[in-house]
Amino acid sequence: MMNDEMEQLERRLNHQPLRQIPAEWRGEILAAADVDRRNVRAFTSAATIGARLREIFWPAPAAWAGLAAVWIFIFAVNFSMRDSSPRLAEKSAPPSPEVIVELRQQQRLFAELVGPRETRDADRPRIFTPKPRGERAELVAV
Amino acid sequence: MKMPGRKEIERLYDAHAPALFAFLLNLTRAEADTRDLLQEIFVKLAREPKLLAGIRQERAFLIRLAHNAAIDLMRRRGTRERTKENFAAEIISPFAPTSDPDEKIFRDELADALGELPPEQRAVVHLKLWGGLTFEEIAAALEIPPNTAASRYRYGLDKLRGRLRPLYEEMKKAE
């Protein structure tokens, strides 16, 4: 009697239709899952690259660190050299045309103020007449 | 490890989402919570490719995911309710609406009676009556021994019978 009642109740309950899942959820939920799946894929790709780099660098970390230090030193030296090179270029560069014109004007003005240039004794060229060694010795004695 | 593609997730959704929806709605009694949990499950499937590797019974596995997620949510919601922040939450029946007034009364009573069962009994009753699972399958899904599943079902059904008997007998007389 009891079992019959239970079976009837089970059957009755079993035939109660359940509420249906809203149709619009499908698109929303699958879109959310897809976005997450793509994010995970991008992250996985980055992780794979990281893992490969680790495989390359991991066997000899000291050697790679030494190589990196050498490169840092080379870059440092290169930068310090590059820093001084513009000054050297400035020193060796010819004066600009404006400066040359200015200098010539100043020279001309100076020449007008001073007048014609007289040559001093010291500036005069000596006429040198070669003489025999004997004559020169006599002159010294006199 | 091959990741489940969009097609695979779509297949899983079409095959299992309606059953998971009914199960989750019966446990949570809130449509918004059910949607959140369902999305959480499918996002998890898309994110963790290892989850389905070597799984033979997809339905049982997905029910386990859903059950664990629902229990976590109910614990959190229990805390919220204790702090009186959840009064406005809408309680939804897991059964389809009907225009027949007698059926409506019976379904409403049944929904209330189910809501009074402890979650572990409600889960077993739902899976046996509306999920079409055997006690072995329910045991595998909920990670409990089959005997425990069977006894929870009996206890649950007894409570439903006691609660629904007056209405049920009245309806039988009317027939």
Residue B61, token pair as written in the block = 């596995």
Partners of A117 in beta bridges: none
Higher per-residue confidence, B24 vs B54: B24
Give residue A119's pLDDT. 53
Higher per-residue confidence, A44 vs A60: A60
Give residue B38's pLDDT. 96
Residue B18 burial (10 A CB sphere; 0-12, 13-18, 19+): middle
Flag whether A64 is in a domain: yes
> One-letter amino acid identity for B15?
A
Flag whether A15 is in a domain: no
Q: Which residues of B touch A28 (CB under 8 A)?
A: 39
Same domain? B9 vs B71 = yes
**φ, ψ at A18 (rounded to 5°):** -90, 155
Give residue A142's pLDDT. 47
- The answer, yes or no, to whether residue B68 has pLDDT greater than 90, is yes
Same domain? B73 vs B109 = no
Same domain? B88 vs B29 = yes
Mean pLDDT, chain B, whole residue set: 87
Q: How many domains does chain B fold into?
A: 2
Same domain? B88 vs B117 = no
Q: How many domains does chain A fold into?
A: 1
Chain A residue at shortest CA distance from B44: A33
Same domain? B106 vs B139 = yes
Check: CB of residue B27 under 8 Å from CB of residue B119: yes
Partners of A18 in beta bridges: B95
Greatest mean pLDDT range, A41-50, A82-91, A122-131, B70-79:
B70-79
Chain B residue at shortest CA distance from A43: B47
Flag whether A112 is in a domain: no
Q: Which residues of A touch B9 (CB under 8 A)?
A: 30, 33-34, 37
Same domain? B28 vs B83 = yes
Q: Do A30 and B4 touch (CB under 8 A)?
A: no
For the domain that residue B106 is a member of, what is the CATH number? 1.10.10.10
For the domain that residue B20 is a member of, what is the CATH number? 1.10.1740
Mean pLDDT of B135-156: 95
Q: Do B46 and A29 touch (CB under 8 A)?
A: no
Flag whether A43 is in a domain: yes
Same domain? B84 vs B105 = no
Least Cα separation, residue B38 to chain A (angstroms) = 8
Residue B2 sits at the chain A interface (C-beta within 8 Å): no
CA distance B88 to A32: 27
Q: Which residues neighbour B139 within 8 Å (Cβ) at sequence distance 6 or greater?
A: B145, B146, B148, B149
- Whether this model's pTM surpasses 0.80: no
Least Cα separation, residue A36 to chain B (angstroms) = 6
Flag whether A57 is in a domain: yes
**Would you give the distance in Å from CA B96 to the centre of its chain?**
14
Same domain? B84 vs B154 = no
**φ, ψ at B95 (rounded to 5°):** -100, 155
Same domain? B25 vs B82 = yes
Residue B12 burial (10 A CB sphere; 0-12, 13-18, 19+): buried
Least Cα separation, residue B8 to chain A (angstroms) = 11
Q: Which residues of B touch A2 (CB under 8 A)?
A: none
CA distance B10 to B54: 19
Partners of B95 in beta bridges: A18
Residue B35 sits at the chain A interface (C-beta within 8 Å): yes
Same domain? B62 vs B11 = yes
ipTM of the complex: 0.82
Same domain? B86 vs B126 = no
Last residue of a domain, one of B69, B92, B115: B92
Flag whether A56 is in a domain: yes
CA distance B78 to B80: 5
Flag whether A102 is in a domain: no
Mean pLDDT, chain A, whole residue set: 76
Flag whether A108 is in a domain: no
Last residue of a domain, one of B77, B92, B107: B92
Last residue of a domain, one of B71, B92, B113: B92
Interface test with chain B among A29, A40, A44, by most B beta carbons within 10 Å? A29
Q: How far is CA B129 from CA A9, A38, B8, B126, B148, in A?
A: 11, 38, 28, 5, 16
Same domain? B73 vs B129 = no
Q: Which residues neighbour B123 within 8 Å (Cβ) at sequence distance 6 or greater?
A: B23, B27, B67, B142
**What residues make up the domain containing B162?**
96-175
Q: Helix (H, G, I), strand (E, B), or coil: what is residue B95?
A: strand
Q: How far is CA A103 from CA A80, A99, A116, in A?
A: 36, 6, 19
CA distance B54 to B136: 19
Q: Do B43 and A20 touch (CB under 8 A)?
A: no
CA distance B126 to B141: 13
